[in-house]
């Protein structure tokens, strides 16, 4: 072989030898870049978990809707709600009931559990109304009418948030009401009126809105009313702390607020 041909052949071999490792390096870099551009499963949504959320009775209907929406947004997550009066929920937390998050109908109950919860966030507000039988047969116009001894009035017990709010607004106007019963939560008060076992009861506006075919809601002027605040917090005993925190944070998002306000709750 002529000398010039041998030199060209050697140069070609050397060039090929140098390009092969460079191409391999370029391939690795491209794969790394592609890999870093793709989010991991954990980064694409809230951690998957089965969550148990303790929630005030007045959140029963709206939280069922909100929970379904959250599960749809976060496949693989399931939320089980346990509804009761806030004071009952607090007792459950203190007794170590397995749960991941708590939402009460007042800040006082939540604040009393400071050692058991994360930092609370107010997710909604509410107001009271007078619930009467459909058509308001007793012609109740306002709080003063509840003092009529001929009326069967039912209230929530004073240790229940709605019971405290009721006591607060009645005391402010020096109205003395002798209830025929004091119930453990707001839904029990509403039920008494629905069933005709009471002529009237003080409930949250949102609760009365769930039974418009059975009760009338008599508005209470703002100056005579009370504002109920709903704080939400994770529980320190949760085994799904990240997933619980994600759900609590979601309750303040536009999507969750739309559901809450659509049910009559006020913005935080």
pLDDT tens-digit map of 24-53: 333 333 333 333 333 333 334 678 999 999
Phi, psi of 123 (to 5 degrees): -110, -15
Does residue 202 surpass a pLDDT of 70? yes
Q: Which two tokens stand for residue 203?
A: 């409930």
CATH 3.40.50.1260 fits 46-125+229-262, yes or no: no
Axis-axis angle for helices 60-73, 241-250 (nearest 10): 110
Helix (H, G, I), strand (E, B) or coil at 16: helix
- The distance between the two most distant Cα atoms of the chain, rounded to a whole number of Å, is 125
- What CA–CA distances, in Å, run from 138 to 150, 168, 173, 178? 10, 24, 21, 17
Residue 47, pLDDT score: 86
Domain with CATH 3.40.190.10 in the chain: 46-125+229-262, 127-227
**CATH tag for 127-227 (out of 1.10.8.100, 3.40.190.10, 2.60.40.180, 3.90.1150.10):** 3.40.190.10
- pTM of the prediction? 0.81
- pLDDT category at 207 given cuts 50, 70, 90 is very high
CA distance 105 to 206: 12
Per residue in 175-192, pLDDT (tens digit) is 999 999 999 999 999 999
């Amino acid at each position: 072989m002529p000398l010039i041909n041998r030199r060209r052949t050697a140069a070609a071999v050397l060039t090929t030898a140098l390009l092969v490792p460079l191409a391999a390096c370029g391939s690795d870099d491209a794969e790394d870049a592609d890999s870093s551009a793709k989010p991991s499963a954990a980064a694409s949504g809230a951690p998957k978990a089965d969550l148990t959320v303790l929630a005030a009775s007045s959140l029963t209907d709206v939280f069922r809707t909100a929970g379904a929406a959250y599960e749809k947004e976060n496949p693989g997550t399931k939320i089980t709600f346990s509804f009761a009066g806030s004071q009952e929920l607090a007792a459950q937390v203190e007794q170590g009931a397995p749960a991941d998050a708590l939402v009460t109908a007042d800040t006082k109950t939540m604040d009393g559990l400071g050692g058991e919860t994360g930092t609370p966030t107010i997710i909604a507000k509410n107001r009271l109304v007078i619930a009467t039988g459909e058509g308001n047969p007793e012609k109740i116009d306002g709080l003063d009418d509840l003092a009529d001894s001929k009326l069967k009035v039912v209230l929530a017990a004073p240790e229940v948030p709605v019971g405290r709010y009721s006591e607060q607004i009645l005391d402010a106007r020096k109205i003395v009401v002798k209830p025929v019963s004091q119930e453990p939560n707001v839904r029990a008060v509403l039920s008494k009126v629905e069933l005709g076992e009471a002529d009237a009861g003080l409930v949250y506006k949102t609760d009365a809105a769930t039974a418009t075919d059975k009760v009338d809601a008599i508005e209470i002027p703002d100056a005579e009313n009370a504002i109920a605040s709903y704080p939400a917090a994770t529980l320190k005993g949760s085994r799904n702390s990240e997933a619980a925190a994600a759900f609590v944070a979601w309750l303040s998002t536009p999507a969750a607020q739309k559901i809450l306000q659509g049910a009559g709750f006020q913005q935080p």
